């Protein structure tokens, strides 16, 4: 955006020299250059302080790794990529045979345990049994009841269902694959239907005049020539560069780490964005400008530059 200002000023000076036939000499040229340095420098400083801009902005979405509760052989995958699903729709099925067999085994043991419990109670009623035998039989019956409930839980979870409304993307799971309950190897990635979050990565000194509710504008690389209105929804209170986790290593100075940028969440309120949002994939890249309540006339210049940047996306769509 600084380059746009310089090019605009250069074009203005060339036009001024041509129209008014100003001679090029050791006085006029340095005056134009020095005037440009002062004018553009003051303009950039005022804009960055009151109406910061970020060339690094992106829409983010939440993904949920689908990890089955039980491990087993996949026998059916009825879901398709990017198919809208309701909560509870089947994602895939695991072969239930070993879990059904376990259910049958526990049920048989439970029947025997209940028969044994009945026999001991009858013996106690006739003064032939002991309280210790009764307590052991009750404990075994309760244990088998718990095992049966757990086996039923595992059998029910051989059918893996959608956790909420949303869709599965990049479905690579096929029947015959062994699905495991290891958290490091999800079987699918589920995308909840909860919308996207647009974050502009602002320099830390851009937060001097920034506050929640300020006006914002967003331009996407994938939608050249369009600028969408919005507002500052929130400013994330921490940045990744400063996080510390429990470990056996002390924090030390290992060089000059990057300063890091602050993520500012922008809510896009422009009604025109609805017709474009469906064609924009999650993770779309863009730029954003924030406008404080100070120096409104300078904000107009920032808006012009953002629109020029949006139009440049037609020429440089892959920058």
Alpha-helix residue ranges (DSSP H) falling in the chain: 2-19, 28-50, 97-125, 131-156, 274-277, 296-312
Mean pLDDT of 186-214: 90
Q: Provide the 8-state DSSP code for 85.
A: B
Main-chain dihedrals φ then ψ at residue 157, nearest 5 degrees: -85, 10
Mean pLDDT of 115-128: 86
pLDDT at residue 317 in the model: 52
Q: Greater confidence, 80 or 127?
A: 80
Q: Indicate if the pLDDT at residue 67 is higher than 60.
A: yes
Please tell me which of 129-133, 136-140, 297-301, 310-314 the model is most confident about, judged by mean pLDDT. 136-140
Using alpha carbons, select from 74, 65, 72, 79 the residue that is nearest to residue 93: 74
Question: Is residue 249 situated within a structural domain?
Answer: no
29 and 136 housed in the same domain: no
Torsion of CA 207, 210, 215, 221, to 10 degrees: 10
The helix/strand/coil state of 232 is: strand
Question: Is residue 14 situated within a structural domain?
Answer: yes
139 and 218 housed in the same domain: no
Question: Is residue 73 situated within a structural domain?
Answer: yes
Q: Indicate if the pLDDT at residue 220 is higher than 60.
A: yes
135 and 104 housed in the same domain: yes
Q: What is the dihedral sign for C-alpha 95, 98, 99, 104?
A: positive
220 and 172 housed in the same domain: no
Q: Indicate if the pLDDT at residue 7 is higher than 80.
A: no
Please tell me which of 1-10, 105-114, 238-247, 294-303 the model is most confident about, judged by mean pLDDT. 105-114
Q: Indicate if the pLDDT at residue 316 is higher than 70.
A: no
Reported pTM: 0.77
Mean pLDDT of 113-119: 90
Mean pLDDT of 189-199: 92
Vertex 182, ends 79 and 95: CA angle to 5°?
50
Instruction: Work out the mean pLDDT of the chain and round it to a whole number.
Output: 88
Question: Is residue 5 situated within a structural domain?
Answer: yes
Residue that finishes a domain, picked among 190, 205, 228: 190
15 and 46 housed in the same domain: yes
Question: Which region holds residue 265: left if phi is over 0, alpha if psi is between -120 and 50, else beta?
Answer: beta
Torsion of CA 226, 230, 235, 241, to 10 degrees: -10
Question: Is residue 251 situated within a structural domain?
Answer: no
Question: Is residue 17 situated within a structural domain?
Answer: yes
Torsion of CA 46, 51, 56, 61, to 10 degrees: 170
171 and 226 housed in the same domain: no
pLDDT exceeding 70 applies to what percent of the chain? 97
Q: Indicate if the pLDDT at residue 252 is higher than 90.
A: no
Question: Which region holds residue 313: left if phi is over 0, alpha if psi is between -120 and 50, else beta?
Answer: alpha
263 and 184 housed in the same domain: no
Residue that finishes a domain, picked among 155, 170, 190: 190
Using alpha carbons, select from 287, 306, 295 the residue that is nearest to residue 209: 295
Q: Indicate if the pLDDT at residue 96 is higher than 70.
A: yes
Vertex 105, ends 104 and 111: CA angle to 5°?
90
92 and 102 housed in the same domain: yes
Q: Greater confidence, 18 or 253?
A: 18
Q: What is the CATH number for 96?
A: 2.40.50.100
225 and 317 housed in the same domain: yes
What is d(CA 161, CA 190) in angstroms, rounded to the nearest whole number?
A: 11
Mind listing the pLDDT tens digit for each residue in 142-191? 999 999 999 999 999 999 999 999 999 989 999 999 999 988 889 999 99
Question: Is residue 252 situated within a structural domain?
Answer: no
Question: Is residue 269 situated within a structural domain?
Answer: yes
Q: Greater confidence, 256 or 131?
A: 131
Q: What is the CATH number for 227?
A: 2.40.30.170
Question: Domain containing 9: what range?
Answer: 1-50
> What band does 25 get if pLDDT is binned at 50, 70 and 90?
confident
Residue bearing tokens 């896009």? 268
pLDDT at residue 14 in the model: 86
262 and 238 housed in the same domain: yes
pLDDT at residue 125 in the model: 83
> CB-hemisphere CA count at 13 Å for 205?
6
Structural domains of the chain, count: 3
> What band does 72 get if pLDDT is binned at 50, 70 and 90?
very high
pLDDT at residue 1 in the model: 58
84 and 143 housed in the same domain: yes
Main-chain dihedrals φ then ψ at residue 56, nearest 5 degrees: -120, 100
127 and 179 housed in the same domain: yes
């Amino acid at each position: 955006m600084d380059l746009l200002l310089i090019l605009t000023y250069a074009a203005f000076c060339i036009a001024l020299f041509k129209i008014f036939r100003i001679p090029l000499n050791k006085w006029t040229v340095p005056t134009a250059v020095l005037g440009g340095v002062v004018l553009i420098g003051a303009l950039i400083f005022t804009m960055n302080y009151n109406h910061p801009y970020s060339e690094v902005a992106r829409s983010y979405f939440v993904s949920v790794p689908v990890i089955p509760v039980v491990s087993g052989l996949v026998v059916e995958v009825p879901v398709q990529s990017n198919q809208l699903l309701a909560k509870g729709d089947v994602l895939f099925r695991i072969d239930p045979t070993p879990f059904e067999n376990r259910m049958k085994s526990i049920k048989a043991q439970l029947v025997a345990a209940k028969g044994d419990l009945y026999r001991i109670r009858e013996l106690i009623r006739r003064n032939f049994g002991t309280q210790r035998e009764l307590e052991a039989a009750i404990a075994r019956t309760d244990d088998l009841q718990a095992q049966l409930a757990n086996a039923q839980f595992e059998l029910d979870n051989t059918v893996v269902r959608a956790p909420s409304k949303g869709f599965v993307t990049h479905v690579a799971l096929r029947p015959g694959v062994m699905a495991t309950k290891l958290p490091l190897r999800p079987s699918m990635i589920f995308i909840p239907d909860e919308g996207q979050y647009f974050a502009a990565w602002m320099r830390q000194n851009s937060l001097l005049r920034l506050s929640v509710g300020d006006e914002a504008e967003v331009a996407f690389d994938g939608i050249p020539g369009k600028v969408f209105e919005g507002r500052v929804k929130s400013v994330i209170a921490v940045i990744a560069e400063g996080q510390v986790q429990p470990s056996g290593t002390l924090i030390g100075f290992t060089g000059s780490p990057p300063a890091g940028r602050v993520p500012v969440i922008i809510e896009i309120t422009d009604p025109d964005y609805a017709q474009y949002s469906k064609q924009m994939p999650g993770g779309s890249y863009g730029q954003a400008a924030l406008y404080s309540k100070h120096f409104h006339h300078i904000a107009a210049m920032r808006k012009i530059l953002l629109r020029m940047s949006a139009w440049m996306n037609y020429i440089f769509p892959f920058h």
